[in-house]
Each structure stands twice: as structure tokens, then as C-alpha cells.
Amino acid sequence: MPTALITGATAGIGEAAVRSFADAGWHVVATGRRADRLEKLAGERVHTLAFDIRDEAARDAALDSLPAPFSGIDLLINNAGLALGLEPAQKASLSNWKTMIDTNVTALVSITHKLLPGLVERKGAIINLSSVAASYPYPGGNVYAGTKAFVRQFSLDLRADLHGTGVRVTSIEPGMVETEFTLVRTGSQETSDKLYGGANPMTGEDIAETLLWVATLPPHLNINALELMPVNQSWQGFAVHRED
Ligand code: 8X3
């Protein structure tokens, strides 16, 4: 069976994806920061690696010592990412902005660069977790949305460069998913409940099943980009400010 490397595997979509792929018989390398939470996922088909995705030296030390049958990565799922704050740009923290860029953009690009030669050799695949925020602006989206637009466009442009190699690339773009992500983003359970309560949002498992579906399509098919929303989420019109 093929091997998938899934980043951000300690919670939410990543954790659900580790379980889905392992249940489907894949070998899975599950990476994340929190060793204690990763340990719970470890098993015959799941090899865990604890490192901060932004720390390239720690990442390389971990990835370069992968044992068989986990050492040949066929599928990279770039799931690690975060949203910090919902403040308008003029009130947002620069440190939050930099953390999002470092994680959602720089670390994603860097691990992709590291694994690309092997993925080309094995005619593998990359699935990047973008967001509906990549395409639809909303108040408070600012840098988070910018990073997700980068992820979407990077995915599409990777396809252009990988033309003829057999490597597949997909941008997955979910709307509201209720996971720990929403708690981190809003900063409190109360605000998270206010935003997501009653909306019947998607779950990590919903997205994990989609990832497995994309990964197991016949090799001649490529899903370029896929938006998903809960039925209870859609769009509103433009905001118009009227001057007195
Ligand atoms: C976040 C998407 O719709 O929860 O990536 O703002 S949404």
C-alpha cells in the first residue's frame, strides 16, 4: 500500500485523515508538534514524527530517518495551518500575521520542496489544505485569507510545472469545519460557539473522507480545486458604506 505523510495530525482534519487513510490500508506518517497527542495515533500502519513544521532542521532530521515502509512518501497532505484572530487588519497583531505566514505559507512551501523529488520519482500526489477564504473575502480574513489564496494558487501552479510527470496536485478549500482550529482562531470557546453554534458545520471526518476520495481516484484524474461548505453556509452581498 502507498504511504501518505499528513502534517498537522494532532487534531481536527489531520487527525481524522490519519485514521481514514490508515483504516483504508495506507501507511501513514503523521506529523505534528504535540508528541503526546501524536502517540495516540501511532500503530502498525501509522508512524508518528513530532516536530514544529516551521523548524526545518528538526523536520529534516525526522524525515531523513524514516524507516521502511514509511520512507517512500507517495502522497503529501499539507494540512498544518492555523488562523489567528478575526480582528480587522487595522487592529490585528503583526506577530499573529507572521505566525500564519510562517506556518501556512513558508513551512508548506518548504516541506513541499523537500519531498517533491521523491514524489516525482514515485508519480505521487500532493493535496494542499486551502480554504474558501482563498476566493471569498470577508471581514477579519486579512492575512489568513491571503495565505490560503497563496496555497490555492501555489497548488494550481505546481500542476503546471509538474505537467507530464504524472504527479497530481489538489487544492481542498473547506468553509466552516468545527475543530480545534476554530477555538484557536476565535480565542475562546464562547466566541467559537457563537460563530459555529447551530450552523451544523462540517467535521474533520467529512474533510478526511474527501481527502481519501481525492487520493484514490484513478491515476489519470486530477481534481484541481474543490470547495466544500456546510449547507448552512453561503454568501452575502457586497458591503456598502454610505456617507452622510
Ligand atoms: C476557514 C473557512 O468559512 O470558517 O478556513 O471562515 S471559514
How far apart CA 77 and CA 177 sit, in angstroms, is: 17
Q: And the C-alpha cell for 190?
A: 464562547
- Say if ligand 1 is within 6 A of residue 131 CB: yes
In the chain, the number of structural domains is 1
Q: What is the mean pLDDT of residues 117-122?
A: 98
Return the axis-axis angle of helices 108-121 and 56-63, rounded to nearest 10°. 30
Q: And the C-alpha cell for 133?
A: 477564504
| Amino acid at position 70, single letter | F
- Closest ligand 1 atom, CA of 177? 4
- Give pLDDT, residue 73: 98
Ligand 1 center to residue 63 CA distance, Å? 30
Which range of residues forms the domain containing residue 97? 3-228
How far apart CA 86 and CA 76 sit, in angstroms, is: 29
Average pLDDT, the chain: 97
Q: What is the mean pLDDT of residues 102-127?
A: 98
Residues with Cβ within 8 Å of residue 92, at least 6 apart in sequence: 85, 142, 143
How far apart CA 194 and CA 28 sit, in angstroms, is: 35
Return the axis-axis angle of helices 204-215 and 12-23, rounded to nearest 10°. 50
β partners of residue 125: 75, 168
- Give pLDDT, residue 103: 98
Q: What is the mean pLDDT of residues 105-123?
A: 98
Give tens-digit pLDDT for 128-169.
Answer: 999 999 999 999 999 999 999 999 999 999 999 999 999 999
Residue 146 lies in a domain: yes
Residues with Cβ within 8 Å of residue 185, at least 6 apart in sequence: 82, 83, 84, 85, 86, 144, 192
- Give pLDDT, residue 234: 97
- Say if ligand 1 is within 6 A of residue 172 CB: no
Q: Which residue has the cell 451544523?
A: 200
pTM to 2 decimals?
A: 0.97
- Closest ligand 1 atom, CA of 141? 6
Residue 89 lies in a domain: yes
How far apart CA 241 and CA 192 sit, in angstroms, is: 28
Q: What is the mean pLDDT of residues 181-206?
A: 92
Q: What is the mean pLDDT of residues 185-200?
A: 91
- Say if ligand 1 is within 6 A of residue 228 CB: no
- Give pLDDT, residue 165: 98
- Say if ligand 1 is within 6 A of residue 175 CB: yes
| Reported confidence tier of residue 190, pLDDT bands at 50, 70, 90 | very high
The CATH number given to whatever domain includes residue 72 is 3.40.50.720
Residue 234 lies in a domain: no
Share of residues in the chain with pLDDT > 90 (%): 93
Share of residues in the chain with pLDDT > 70 (%): 100
Annotated active-site positions, please?
144
- Say if ligand 1 is within 6 A of residue 86 CB: no
- Closest ligand 1 atom, CA of 144? 5
Residue 41 lies in a domain: yes
- Mutation choice for ligand 1 from 13, 104, 132, 192, CB with most ligand atoms inside 8 A: 132
How far apart CA 212 and CA 209 sit, in angstroms, is: 5
Ligand 1 center to residue 229 CA distance, Å? 9
29 φ, ψ (degrees, to nearest 5): -100, 115
Q: Is the peptide bond before 201 cis (omega within 30 degrees of 0)?
A: no
Residue 233 lies in a domain: no
Q: What is the mean pLDDT of residues 223-235?
A: 98
Can you tell me whether residue 233 is helix, strand or coil?
coil
91 has a pLDDT exceeding 90 = yes
- Give pLDDT, residue 78: 98
Q: Which protein residue's CA is at the shortest distance from atom 4 of ligand 1?
A: 176
Say if CB 222 and CB 127 are below 8 A apart: no
195 has a pLDDT exceeding 90 = no
- Say if ligand 1 is within 6 A of residue 230 CB: no
Give tens-digit pLDDT for 10-54.
Answer: 999 999 999 999 999 999 999 999 999 999 999 999 999 999 999
